[in-house]
Structure 1
Amino acid sequence: MSDSHPISVYCLWQNETLPNMLNAQQKAWAKAHKFEGKKGELVALPDEQGERVAYLFGMGEKKGADPFVTGLAATALPEGQYELHGNFENATLAAVGFRLGAYDFDQFRKSPKKVELSGLAGADADEADLLVEAATLARDLTNRPANDLTPETYEKEIRDFAKSHGAKVSSIVGDDLLKQNFPMIHAVGRAAAEAPRLLDFTWGDESDPKITLVGKGVVFDTGGLDIKPAPAMLLMRKDMGGSANILGLAHAVMKANLKVRLRVLIPVVENSISGNAFRPGDVLNSRNGMTVEIGNTDAEGRLVLADALSLADEENPEMIIDMATLTGAARVAVGPDIGALYSTDDGLAQELVAKGKANSDALWQLPLWDEYDALLKSNIADVNHISNGPFAGSITAALFLRRFVKNAKSWTHMDIMAWSPVARPGRPMGATEQGQRAAYFMLKERFGKK
C-alpha cells in the first residue's frame, strides 16, 4: 500500500451541489460523466495531467438513508488510503460503514486489496474503532470453517479474549457438565469428537448493575439424528454466530468501560452424530429441573441456551440478553437483514429497535404470544422443546426459552441470521454482525461509563 497522502472522497447526496474545492475542469468532468449523487455512483476526478486525485461518491436520497451507505464506496474504490468529506447525518457511523464495507475475510487466502480510512472530520475515532472491532470480531469468528474453529479452539479464543480485557474466565467441560448440572448442554454435544463445554467470564465491579450476555456457540450443526439435507448444512459453520456477536458486544462494553458488572455465558458444542447422540423422543433433564421431550434433534440451540439461561438467571441479574442463530422461521418472518427480537420488557424492546434503526442494525419485535405456549405441550414430559405444528416457529422457540428465566428483571432474546446472503452497504456477503450496536448504545445510554 502506498504511503502517499490519502485520496479525498467527496460524498454527496443526490442532486447536492458539487463542493467548492473542485476546480472548473473537475466540475466539467463530473458533469460530463452525469454524476448526480445517486446511491453508489463513483466518479474518479483527474488533475491536469490526467492522474486520479479524488473521487465523487453518490449517497442517494438523504431521507431515510442507511448510515452505512459509505460502505459501497469502500467496496468500489481501488486499494489505497482515503479521507471522506461530506454532510453526514452521523460522521462516526459513516466512518464505521466505510471501514466495514472494506472488510474481507482473508485468513485462508491473500486479500485482493486493502482499502483504508485515513480520516473523516467530525467522527469520534475511538467510538468508530470500538464498533469496527466488535463487528470484525463477530465476522472473523463466524466466517471460520468448523475444522478450524472446533469446541477446543473456540474455548481458547474465548479465554484469550476474556483475559485480554482483564476478565475472569472459567469453563466446565465434558462429563463435568453432568456433575455440575448442565445436562442439556452435555446431551447436545456428547456425540462430537471434542467435548461440549460452557464458557463463563465476568468483568467489572460487583456493585454495578449485573448484565449477563448469553450466546449460542454451536460450532457446527449436522442436525443430529434428524440430519439436515446437504444444502442446509453448507452454512452451518455460522451456527455459532450468536455467540460471536455476543463476544463483539462484550468487547464494546468492556472497551468503552461501561458501568456494569458484565457476565458472558457461551455454551460451546458441535451437534454431531455417533452412537451416543441424543435422539428424537428422548426426555432430557434440564438445569432448572424441568423435563424436556426432544421433538427434533435439529433444534439443539434452544437446549444449550436453556441451561445457560438458567445459570444466568440464578443470580437475579438486572438484564439478560441472548443472541442465537436459532430458527429458520425468523428468517421467513423478517428475512436475513433484520433480527427478530423478543423481550419481557416492551419498553426495552422498543428502545433496542430504535437504537438499531439509528445505527444500521435492524431489529423488529415479535410477540411472546402466551396462547402459543400450548403448542409446546408434551404427553410424557413437562414440555416439548419444539411446537407440534408448522406455525410460529420463532415465537414458540422464544416461549420455550422464557421458561428458563424467572428472576432477571428483564430478558431479551435475539433470533438472528448473522449472515449476509448478498452484499449490502457496509456488509460484504458472508458473516455479519447483528444486534451488537443496538444493544451497545442501549447499555451505554442506560448505564453510562465509569
Structure 2
Amino acid sequence: MELAFAQDADTARPLHLVGRDDLESWLDGRPEATRAWLTAVGFTAELGQVMALPDADGGCSGAVFGMGTPQDRARGRFWLGRAPAALPAGDWTLEGALDAEEAAEAALAWLLAGYRFTRYSGTPAITPRLVVPEGVDGGSIQAIAAGEALTRDLINTPASDMGPAELEQAAFDVAVEFGAAMSVTTGDDLLEANFPMIHAVGRASPRAPRLIDMRWGSDGPRLTLVGKGVCFDTGGLSLKSGASMGLMKKDMGGAAGVLGLARMIMALDLPVRLRVLIPAVENAVSGASFRPQDILTSRKGLTVEINNTDAEGRLVLADALALADEEKPDLLISMATLTGAARVAVGPDIAPFFTRDNAVAATLASGAAQVRDPVWRLPLHDPYEPMIEPGVADLDNAPKGGFAGATTAALFLHRFVEDAPRYVHFDIYGWQPVAAPSRPKGGVGQGTRAVLAALPSLLDLPA
C-alpha cells in the first residue's frame, strides 16, 4: 500500500486547525456566512471535530478541524488521523500554528490514517491527500509510514499465510529492495550451525525453523536488531487455552517490528552497519515437541531447564542474541511479544524496555516523547537473578511464583549478552485492541519510531 503526500499546494483546499480557546478569535476573521454556518451546525472545536465549509455553489471550499485544548491533546496522539475519513477526496493543506514536532506528527498521522489491511477482503479507501506541511521532511515521513505499514501487514497476516518461510520471504523482499545481503539457516542445519534452541522450539512443526540474517551498510557504527519470529504459538506441550491462542498470529510481532524499523533505516540511508537477526519458528505440538523438564544446551553453552514450553520466545532469542553478541555491535536491540506480565504492568499502548545503560534509557525516553511513540523503562532487578537459576541447569525458562515475569524474562536474555556494550530489550504487545486515530484495530508497531528518533544520539550519527 502506497502512503504518499500530495504535490500541488495550489489546487489544495485548506483544513483550518482551530483550538477550542481560539475559536471565537478565529471566527472573527471569517465571512459572516462561515460564522453562521459553523454556529448552526454546532461546531465548538472539540478535539477531532471536523466540519466542511460550503462555498457559494454548494461545494466544499475547505474544512475546519477542532484541536480541543492542550490538555485534550496530551491525553492521546495522532488526533489529526481522524480528519481524512471525514473529508472529501482531493488534496488538502493544513492551516494553523503547529510547531515542528506537531507538524511532523500531523503529517504521519494523516498518512497512517490511510492504512488498510485488504489482503483478504475489501479495497483500499480513497483517502484525501495531504500537502506536506512547511518544515516537514516529507520523504522521511513517507519512509516511516512505509516501515510501519510493513509491520502492520506482517502481524495482520494469519499464520496460515505467515509461517517461517513466508517471514523469510518478507525479509528477502526488503533485502532486495534496498540491496541488503541475506543468509538463512534452516531445519536440521540449525544444529550443525549451533543454534540448538531455535531448532528445539521449531522442530515439532512441518514448517521448518530457521534463522534469518540480513546485513546492510558498509560504514558507520554497528547496529544489530533481533526480533522474535514465532509465527504461531500453541504453547507446545504446555498447551494454551483456546482463548489464549486466539491472537498468537501476532507472536512474530518482534520480527515484524525490527523488519519495519530496518526498512525505515535503509530508506533513510542512515550511515550504520545494520544487521537483522530473526529466529523464525512455529511452536507446534507433535511427537517431536520439546518437553517440560527437558534441558537444552544453548549456542552460548548455558544449559536451560524447560519448565514451560509456552515460554519459548526467550529460547529462540537466546541463540540469536548469542550470535549477535559475538560481533560486539555498538548497539544491540531485541524486540519480542514476550510476556503477558509486561501487558499487565503497562497495558497495550506502551512499549516497556529493559537496559542497564542509564544514558541509553534517557535517550530512548527523549526520542519517544519527541515522536509520540510511548515507551517505559522497567527494572532489571539483580536480586531476582536467583529466580532464573533452577539448580539442575544454568537457567530456568519459566520461574515459578508468578512474580516479575517481564523482569525475569529480560534477565534471562541478558545472560546471553556479554560483549555488546549497550543492549536494549523491548517487550512489546504488537496489537491495537481498540481502533484509535491512525491505528485501526490489529497489528501495530511499538517502540520502532522511538528507536529511530534516538539513533542519531545513541550512535553519534551526523545530523
Category of TM-score, reference length = shorter chain: over 0.9
Query: Would you say the 8 A contact 2:366–2:454 is kept in 1?
Result: no
CA distance in 2, matches of 1:305, 1:16: 52
Query: Would you say the 8 A contact 1:375–1:389 is kept in 2?
Result: no
Question: AA paired with 1:353?
Answer: A
CA distance in 1, matches of 2:443, 2:78: 16
Question: AA paired with 2:47?
Answer: K
Give the fraction of aligned pairs with identical amino acids, expressed as a percent. Answer: 46
> Where does residue 229 of structure 2 map in the other structure?
217
* Matched position secondary structure for 1:147: helix
CA shift, 1:9, in A, is 2.0
CA shift, 1:67, in A, is 4.9
CA distance in 1, matches of 2:200, 2:19: 55
Q: Which moved more, 1:189-198 or 1:346-355?
A: 346-355
> Where does residue 154 of structure 1 map in the other structure?
167
CA distance in 2, matches of 1:222, 1:258: 38
* Matched position secondary structure for 1:322: strand
Which of the numbers 60, 72, 79 marks the counterpart of 1:52?
A: 60
CA shift, 1:449, in A, is 5.0
Question: AA paired with 1:11?
Answer: L
CA shift, 1:80, in A, is 4.7
CA shift, 1:114, in A, is 2.1
CA shift, 1:152, in A, is 1.0
> Where does residue 127 of structure 2 map in the other structure?
115
Question: AA paired with 2:83?
Answer: A
> Where does residue 370 of structure 1 map in the other structure?
382
CA shift, 1:78, in A, is 5.0
Question: AA paired with 1:167?
Answer: A
Q: For residues 273 and 22 of structure 1, do their structure 2 counterparts lie closer, same or farther at Cα, with a shift above 3 Å needed?
A: farther
Which of the numbers 87, 91, 98 marks the counterpart of 2:110?
A: 98
Which of the numbers 51, 74, 89 marks the counterpart of 2:84?
A: 74
Counterparts of 1:15-94 in structure 2 under 5 Å? Answer: 15-17=21-23, 18=26, 22-63=30-71, 65=74, 66-77=76-87, 79-89=89-99, 90-94=102-106
Does 2:151 correspond to 1:138?
A: yes
For structure 2, list consecutive stretches of 5 or more residues without a partner in the other structure: 1-7
Does 2:186 correspond to 1:173?
A: yes
Query: Would you say the 8 A contact 1:246–1:436 is kept in 2?
Result: yes
Does 2:408 correspond to 1:396?
A: yes
> Where does residue 247 of structure 2 map in the other structure?
235
> Where does residue 198 of structure 1 map in the other structure?
211
Query: Would you say the 8 A contact 1:45–1:52 is kept in 2?
Result: yes
CA distance in 1, matches of 2:30, 2:181: 55
Which of the numbers 440, 443, 446 marks the counterpart of 1:431?
A: 443
CA shift, 1:22, in A, is 4.5
Q: For residues 418 and 21 of structure 1, do their structure 2 counterparts lie closer, same or farther at Cα, with a shift above 3 Å needed?
A: farther
CA shift, 1:261, in A, is 0.7
Query: Would you say the 8 A contact 1:422–1:429 is kept in 2?
Result: yes
Query: Would you say the 8 A contact 2:88–2:128 is kept in 1?
Result: no
Cα RMSD of the aligned pairs, angstroms, is 2.0
* Matched position secondary structure for 2:104: helix
Counterparts of 1:6-17 in structure 2 under 5 Å? Answer: 6-17=12-23
Q: Which moved more, 1:328-337 or 1:368-377?
A: 368-377
Query: Would you say the 8 A contact 2:110–2:438 is kept in 1?
Result: yes
Query: Would you say the 8 A contact 1:323–1:414 is kept in 2?
Result: yes
CA shift, 1:79, in A, is 4.9
For structure 1, list consecutive stretches of 5 or more residues without a partner in the other structure: none
CA distance in 2, matches of 1:433, 1:99: 15
Does 2:311 correspond to 1:299?
A: yes
CA distance in 2, matches of 1:332, 1:437: 23
Query: Would you say the 8 A contact 1:162–1:169 is kept in 2?
Result: yes
* Matched position secondary structure for 1:388: coil
> Where does residue 362 of structure 2 map in the other structure?
350
CA distance in 2, matches of 1:110, 1:231: 27
CA distance in 2, matches of 1:325, 1:203: 25
> Where does residue 422 of structure 1 map in the other structure?
434
